[in-house]
A and B are shown apart, each in its own frame.
Chain A
Amino acid sequence: MAYFDVPEIEYTRYSNRQLAAVPLAVLAVALLVLSGSFLVYGTPVPLGMDFAGGTELTVQTTTPEGEIAASFDQTPESVTGTGTENQYIVRFSSTDSAALTDQATDSDTGLEPDGDAEIVQSVSSTSASFGAGSQQTAMLGLVVAFVGMSAIAFLLFRTFVPSIAIVISAFSDLVIPLAFMRLVDIPLSLGTVAGLLMLIGYSVDSDILLNNHVLRRSGDFYESTYRAMRTGVTMTVTSMAAMLVMAVSAYVFGIGLLASIGIILFVGLAADLMNTYMLNLCLLRWYKFEGVRR
């Protein structure tokens, strides 16, 4: 027998209302977090350097972490160590990367070199206006991706309730990780946007699988559901494991792009487990037992 097996849940014990309540409540909380954040901070999620503008330096130095800030005229937004010894990522809201590089490498007031290694290992800087353009582009990309995915869902099932069930749970799959980002203060970067787009593609898989098993196969509703769950949960758990490993190891190595893609997908897929097997499932059950008769 397998080391882990997907447990069979007795769905008959819960009414549709009960099943839908949990994911809808979570979705409502997530939307509340995002709109509250929008009212207070002006943006639903914290914007990273890619979108708000700023400079990020990766420095290799023997100067202790606490004293790095003193080398710069402008106080850094943050100084974080990477997995490598004596390597730090320093973030600034200023976009004058040339001046910041000069300050870091200044032989009097700058950072102490670590052996022969260059002090400034990497520079990345985005102007505010460039960031604003990227923001619009990212927004456009997300909307087009979501609309495209919805269109495919309707094209595949050609009935309203099962298709809209996919669209709603995909929407919730996006909103929950966004609210998570706000709560744990992960800034929106190009990496997280990629994670969100990937999530649209990934999360829909288990919904399609469930709908397919319930609607296009003969057999008892609960039996079909269980079979779909066995496959779907395996898929999602596998992906979640891969993403968690990628997120953690990339974070340790200081590769921000991979870490943010990983963490967003991990949270989004966890939300997807709940949305698919509670929200989507109860909509399908309602459709199968009551909706069809209308």
Chain B
Amino acid sequence: MNPIAAVKSNWRILLLVVFVSFAVVALFVPGGIMADDSLGGNESVQESPTNLEFGLGLEGGTRIRVPVTGMTAEDIASDAVSEEGQVDQERLEEIEGTVEQELDLDPANASVDVQEDGTVTAEVFTGSVTQAEFAAALQSANVDASEDDIRDGVTQSTRDQMIETIQTKINAAGLSGGTAYEQTTATGEHYIVVEVPNMGANELRNILSERGVVEVVAYYPGENGNQTNETVLTGDDIATVDPPQQREQGDGYVVPIQVREESAQQFQGRMNDIGFTSDGVGMCNLRGDGESISFDHEGEQYCLLTVADGEVVDAHSMGDRGGNGLATNMRQGTWADDPTFQMGAQNQQDAQSLSVNLRAGSLRAPLDFSESQVYSIEAAHADQFKQYSLLIGLLSVVTVSGVVYGRYTDTRVALPMILTAVAEVVVLLGFAAVIRMPLDLSHVAGFIAVVGTGVDDLVIIADEVMDEGDVSSERVFQSRFRKAFWVIGAAAATTIVALSPLAVLSLGDLQGFAIITILGVLIGVLITRPAYGDILRRLLTDQ
């Protein structure tokens, strides 16, 4: 037989060999098929003997699925956007202001925006307002909206922004490999999913439940001598943020920021108007205990307060610092040309979270943890699962081998059968390594299911081919193999159809199971089972 004919008649086996070798390279050679390890930096990859990536359930970490708190009224106030698409910003602010006032909300908890399609939506981000109250508040802003126009949940753009913020937050907290994404259930509910490896549930929940609204509030004697609070800078006014550093003089930390040009003039003017740069220079005696600030004081105070999520973190005054301080520059009007500013914090942790919150921005809306789903596992426990699932997989393969051998007692039939089924799993594992699919327990179940269906189909081939006595010729073999393949194809089609809903629907962790099983069936039908047919033919027809 010449080489070309040999290749031709054995191409199915050769194809399997090629796939298995590719899989082995992808699995075990460091760097694998994807030589460009651009996602690298994950040190655990170097330690493990394979290139497989593991998901939370087998690696340790926390996943939280949580909806956003809020209500939305869509397509309201068409008077605010003209037909040419001109937006009446004042009208929007007026509505927002009225809603805040009527419902007694913080400025961060109400928002009226123009969406991409040119319609106006109003949102409130709190669980303490009913739909009727929201509708009434909109009506007092002369917006034609009834209770029926209001739905639970927030807009897509709000969710997108939140996901971006959360992603920045977890990255800024120095956690590599964390991700945030949106998941929509079949029932149309939207969840934000946050996954962070190697972090406990309570820790992650703390990061996520912090809204991160940072403000600078001026605390000064008002017109009638009473101390007044006035928000003078918000997160929106800030252009850039530097990492926290220790204060040059005295205790505590500062986060240097740069104020936006548009806001700088206004801030400077207001500081001059309310006396921070004249009567109030250096006039702040509020002292902290390292955590919070005590407001017991006598006399007039001119303090700039750093406020995070409604809590006062630090207080300090403006100084002249011998003619070159903040107050001096503001008074002369030169500060706005180089609007840098230092936000204070009493301890390093506060300074760090201040810096993160300023950089990531605040979460537009709070997350509703009472409706959440949490999954968290310690790295050590996850590692245990990894070993156990390997063991369970091996036990299953051994069992299947035992039954198959018991049934055929012919090593020529049984051994290739078992090897082929194992090859199927190897190809599948290699595939998972190439596409960097993070493997979880549900995937392990999928792998075991693949061995099961794989062997089933090999049994069909073996029985069919050896039916009615020996296989005398190539032609007889081919016709029997084709008959067997009809059944296998039909069975594969039903398995794929049965599992495809799971592969598409986001039903917890089952997506991985469905995807692996479907892929396994496909690899089986297209590559490994035809190869087994060829192996069997060679063994039985003695060619």
Q: Please, how many angstroms separate the alpha-carbon atoms of A238 and B397 in the complex?
A: 10
Docked pose: A144 CA to B501 CA in angstroms: 7
Task: Select B453's contact among A97, A122, A202, beta carbons within 8 Å.
Answer: A202
A241 neighbours in B (Cβ, 8 Å): 399-400, 402-403
Tell me, yes or no, whether B376 is within 8 Å of chain A by CB. yes
Please judge, given known A-B contacts A127-B372, A134-B508, A246-B392, whether A149 and B497 are in contact too, CB under 8 Å. Answer: yes
Q: Give every chain B residue within 8 A of A60 (Cβ-Cβ).
A: 381
Question: Interface SS of chain A: helix, strand, loop or mixed?
Answer: helix
Bound-state CA distance A138–B501 (Å) is 9
Q: Give the CA-CA distance A130 to B368 in the complex, in Å.
A: 12
Stretch at the interface among B118-126, B278-286, B442-450, B530-538: B442-450
Which of A121, A156, A230, A234 is in CB contact (< 8 Å) with B377? A121
**If A58-B381, A149-B494, A235-B460 touch, does A125 touch B505 (CB 8 Å cutoff)?**
no
Residue with the greatest number of chain A CB neighbours at <10 A, chosen from B400, B445, B467, B505: B445
Beyond A95-B370, A122-B381, whether A133 also contacts B392 by CB under 8 A is no
- Contacts of A197 on B, CB cut-off 8 Å? 498-499, 501-502, 514
In angstroms, Cα B26 to Cα A279, docked, is 47
The reply to whether the CB of A261 lies closer than 8 angstroms to some CB of chain B is yes
**Pairwise interchain contact A200-B498, C-beta atoms closer than 8 A:** yes
List the one stretch of A9-17, A27-35, A69-77, A248-256 in contact with chain B.
A248-256
* Interface residue? B129 (CB, 8 A): no
Interchain CA distance A75-B267 in the complex, whole Å: 56
Contact (Cβ within 8 A) B201 A101? yes
- Also in contact, A124 and B495, with CB within 8 A (given A238-B404, A238-B455): no
In the complex, the answer to whether A234 meets B373 with C-beta atoms within 8 Å is: no
| A190 interface residue (CB < 8 Å to B) | yes
Which partner residue on chain A sits nearest B494 by CB separation? A204
Q: Is the CB of A230 within 8 A of B502?
A: no
Contact A255 B392 (CB under 8 A): yes
Whether A80 sits at the interface, judged by CB under 8 Å, is no
- B452 near A137 with CB under 8 A, answer no
In whole angstroms, how far apart are the Cα atoms of A201 and B490 in the complex? Answer: 10
CA distance A245 to B396 in the complex (A): 6
User: How far apart are the CA atoms of A144 and B494 in the complex, in Å?
Assistant: 12
Q: Is A164 an interface residue (CB 8 A)?
A: no
Q: Is A160 an interface residue (CB 8 A)?
A: no
B361-396, CB under 8 A of A: which get 1 and which 0? 000000000111111111011001100110110011
Distance, CA A95 to CA B201, complexed state (A): 13
Q: Are B500 and A258 in contact (CB under 8 A)?
A: no
Are A193 and B491 neighbours in the complex by a CB distance under 8 Å? no
Q: Indicate if A4 sits at the interface (CB-CB under 8 A).
A: yes
Cross-interface CB contact of B407 among A4, A95, A121, A126, cutoff 8 Å: A4
Stretch of B46-54, B181-189, B231-239 with 4 or more beta carbons under 8 angstroms from chain A: B181-189
* Chain B residues in 8 Å Cβ range of A3: 406-407, 409
Is there contact, CB below 8 Å, between B486 and A118? Answer: no
- CB contacts under 8 Å to A, within B170-229, are 185-187, 189, 191, 201-202, 205
Q: Once the chains bind, are A130 and B373 in contact (CB under 8 Å)?
A: yes
Assess whether A246 is in contact with B448, with CB atoms less than 8 Å apart: yes
CB pair A121 B378 closer than 8 Å: yes
A205, B501: Cβ atoms under 8 Å? no
Interface size class of B (residues with CB under 8 A): 35 or more
Contact at B384–A84, with CB atoms within 8 Å? Answer: yes
Mask, A97-135, CB within 8 Å of B = 1, is 110011000000000000001101111111101100110
Of the residues B371, B389, B404, B483, contact of A129 by C-beta under 8 Å: B371
User: Which listed residue, B372, B451, B502, touches A141 by the CB 8 Å rule?
Assistant: B502
B residues less than 8 Å from A101 (CB atoms): 201-202
Contact: B463 with A230, CB < 8 Å?
yes
Residue in A198, A204, A242, A245 whose CB lies within 8 Å of B499: A198
Residues of B within 8 A of A212 (CB): 486-487, 490
Contact with B380, one of A95, A121, A129, A130 (Cβ below 8 angstroms): A121
B444 A258 Cβ-Cβ under 8 A: yes
Pairwise interchain contact A201-B495, C-beta atoms closer than 8 A: yes
Interface flag for B80 (CB, 8 Å):
no
What's the nearest-Cβ distance from chain B to residue A212, in Å? Answer: 5
Q: Which residues of A contact B395 (CB under 8 A)?
A: 245-246, 249
Q: Is B75 engaged at the interface, CB distance under 8 Å to the other chain? A: no
Given contacts A4-B406, A121-B380, A212-B487, contact A246 B396 (CB under 8 A): yes
A152 and B497 in contact, given A133-B189, A205-B491, A249-B391 (Cβ under 8 angstroms): yes
B513 on the interface (CB 8 Å rule)? yes
Q: Which of B409-446 contact A (CB under 8 A)?
A: 409, 441-442, 444-445
A124/B467 contact (C-beta < 8 A), A194-B502, A246-B392 known: no
Which A positions have Cβ atoms within 8 angstroms of B?
Answer: 1-5, 50, 58, 60, 84, 95, 97-98, 101-102, 117-118, 120-127, 129-130, 133-134, 136-138, 140-142, 144-146, 148-149, 151-153, 156, 190-191, 193-194, 197-198, 200-202, 204-205, 208-209, 212, 216-217, 227, 230-231, 234-235, 237-239, 241-246, 249-250, 253, 255, 257-258, 261
Q: Given contacts A136-B186, A201-B453, could you give 18 more A-B pairs where the C-beta distance is less than 8 Å? A: A3-B407, A95-B370, A123-B374, A137-B185, A140-B186, A141-B501, A151-B497, A194-B445, A197-B502, A204-B498, A227-B463, A241-B399, A242-B452, A250-B388, A250-B392, A257-B441, A258-B389, A258-B444
- A-B pairs, 4 with minimum CB distance: A201-B495, A148-B497, A121-B381, A200-B498
Please report B residues at the A interface, Cβ cutoff 8 Å: 65, 185-187, 189, 191, 201-202, 205, 370-378, 380-381, 384-385, 388-389, 391-392, 395-396, 399-400, 402-404, 406-409, 441-442, 444-445, 448-449, 451-453, 455-456, 459-460, 463-464, 467, 483, 486-487, 490-491, 493-502, 505-510, 513-514, 517
Query: Could you write out 5 A-B pairs with CB less than 8 Å apart?
Result: A140-B505, A141-B507, A202-B495, A235-B459, A255-B388
